Chain A
């Protein structure tokens, strides 16, 4: 994990949201790296800060969000200090994002072909016929059948799986080096999910893309990622290569997640739920370890400040004072 080999490196990212009850500490001190050609899975439950991290990297946070600290470097360039125009050019061309709900992220009153063309035209001054060729190319890459006809369709005329393929085609149309996929298959059927994930992996490998796959589904992350980073309540709590994480999970929350996943057990009585819920992130007295209040392995040392990810093995780091 050398600094200059990383395609994307995020350091100490901290994001707050303004609320009437005071700042909500959505993401705190998150550091991660993605190498070119690597698929990193960000796994966590709802409210863990996965999507906020992704939006912060892309510069797409809303007005209520405040970036407290942190740096995001892409190929060595500081992304957060780019001027808006520079950043708009970077986003789409060098880094792209695919959202969860394909129907709501596509414009309902433009044809899907136009929407892919918009992305291409935004970043390339090309004559119309070349743009059209590149739209068809992008659609063929995603194995969209009969692209000449489909490009004239509106999102409502296509199935959810096809809409998501259009979204991915648009994201990949300008050949970015970084792809962030935020729950890309959560709303889709299992068979469609498998097809789309196979395609994302295949394209990522072929183009040597750095990919960040955000998901709540451990089985999905296990099947498609090289490395997994687990988030809980705005903290990144454990990161390891897939096989290592499943074989030797160290953080009690990771162990809990694995124990509560239906795909990991043979009988319903073998499931172990994690007690409690996420802490309210607006609290001012949040403990250093935000999992402490749900944790059976809590010790006095857990309440001391200054908890951070620490290496526990090659490429394996965990933020816990009493790991397994």
Chain B
């Protein structure tokens, strides 16, 4: 893509202090490394999937990008302009708040039960860019509601009178009314039934395509990510371990963790089971990792001596992918064949 990214993150790091040091006993302070040195870019109209197991830092990263929490270090740029200098509290009142909006996982918990649907959708606009007149506000709310397929008679209802799918659409309408450029969606459909999920996914895809909004789709459902996103970022213990375009990553994952993740996908069609790759053992502690070994060391089925001696860096592959693994060869595009098990396996 030749266009500059609309929003970019550079070396984003978030550490949560969990224990202060003690000068007398010499006990050092400890911190949990939730997000470590992550750089990424979003272009207009692009959908990016963020996957990884629970506790890998996906939610922390999405909160950092939304400026709901402050990074320990690193930058966030909107149109090349640094915004990480603005504290998260000040950012909430700044006009830049409109550019990045978030849709939360649980549509019930994230809606104020005492607000009508109209007020729920109008609220972000009232806070960030109050329209001149009540009529103008009404027009905008109705237009936004229509764009997410909420019928006008629902506007006077309260959250408890809505179905799960309607609540999910209210959540999306709230984010969309301020015309953001990046929509961060944290597991937006995991609380929905499949029949309802389908409409929400199609709605999100339409928003991306027609309005050029970039999507960051945080999910553990790899099938959903495959359908919606052109690019995927795989996280493990706070780091990006692999990123690249969806098709090539699904076809030939290069990082052992990505391979394990993809091998766990169940396919009801024809039972073309890949050989299951098991990650045995527990993940390493995210509290002050040594930095002297790969974070997957101890669970990795392919590990070798070097993996326990130094931490691999995220290296670019010739096909544009990035992989953090000592054993992956950056010159070579991994072939698809070893991943597929025999057809009758």
Contact = CB atoms under 8 A, between A and B. Distances in A.
Given A145-B281, A190-B261, A191-B261, A268 B193 contact: no
A268 B201 contact: yes
Contacts of B268: 218-219, 221-223, 246, 261, 263-264
A80 to B, nearest CB: 30
Nearest to B163: A277
A162 to B, nearest CB: 9
Interface string A246-261: 1000000000110111
Interface stretch (B125-133, B222-230, B310-318): B222-230
Contact of B195 (A221, A246, A260, A267): A260
A264 B195 CA distance: 13
A217 B260 CA distance: 20
A310 interface: no
Interface in B244-295: 260-261, 263-269, 271, 273, 276, 278-282
Contacts of B263: 194
B196 A273 contact: yes
A262 B224 contact: yes
Contact of A246 (B53, B201, B202, B269): B269
Interface in A268-303: 268-269, 271-274, 277
Contact of A257 (B195, B199, B221, B267): B195
A189 interface: yes
Interface residues of A, number: 40
Given A189-B53, A216-B193, A271 B227 contact: yes
Given A191-B261, A223-B266, A268 B202 contact: yes
Interface in B192-248: 193-199, 201-202, 205, 220-224, 226-228
A160 B320 CA distance: 36
A194 B259 CA distance: 14
A263 B195 CA distance: 13
A2 B168 CA distance: 46
B94 interface: no
Nearest to A277: B163
A311 B108 CA distance: 41
Contacts of A217: 266
A216 B164 CA distance: 16
Interface string A172-203: 00000000000000000111111100100000
Contacts of B273: 223
Interface string A231-252: 0000000000000001000000
A103 B262 CA distance: 27
A195 B266 CA distance: 12
A159 B223 contact: no
B257 to A, nearest CB: 9
Q: In terms of DSSP, what is the predominant structure of the interface of chain A?
A: helix
B223 A263 contact: yes
Contacts of A191: 53, 260-261, 264, 278-279
A259 B268 CA distance: 12
A92 B202 CA distance: 45
Contacts of B271: 222-223
Nearest to B165: A277
Nearest to A269: B202
Most buried by B among A192, A216, A262, A266: A262
Interface string A33-77: 000000000000110000000000000000000000000000000
A307 interface: no
Contact of B228 (A261, A263, A268, A274): A268
A160 B220 CA distance: 15
Contacts of B222: 190
A220 interface: yes
Contacts of A89: none
A159 B195 CA distance: 31
Nearest to B221: A262
A82 interface: no
A264 B193 contact: no
A198 B276 contact: yes
Contacts of B282: 159
B341 to A, nearest CB: 14
A191 B54 CA distance: 11
A194 B276 contact: yes
Contacts of A159: 282
A304 interface: no
B227 A268 contact: yes
Contacts of A246: 268-269
Nearest to B56: A189
A272 B269 CA distance: 17
A268 B47 CA distance: 12
A271 B228 CA distance: 11
A284 B263 CA distance: 48
Contacts of B227: 262, 265-268, 271
A160 B283 CA distance: 13
A216 B199 CA distance: 17
B199 to A, nearest CB: 4
B194 A261 contact: yes
A75 B204 CA distance: 51
Contacts of B266: 194, 217, 219-220, 222-223, 263
A192 B220 CA distance: 12
B278 A264 contact: no
A263 B222 CA distance: 9
B199 A273 contact: yes
Contact of A269 (B165, B195, B197, B205): B205
Rank and list the top 5 A-B pairs by shortest CB-CB distance, nearest first. A222-B268, A274-B195, A273-B198, A45-B193, A194-B264
14 contacts: A45-B193, A190-B264, A191-B261, A194-B266, A219-B223, A223-B266, A260-B194, A261-B194, A261-B223, A261-B268, A262-B227, A268-B202, A269-B202, A273-B195
Given A246-B269, A262-B226, 12 more contacts: A190-B261, A222-B268, A223-B268, A260-B198, A261-B223, A261-B268, A263-B266, A263-B267, A268-B202, A268-B228, A274-B195, A274-B198
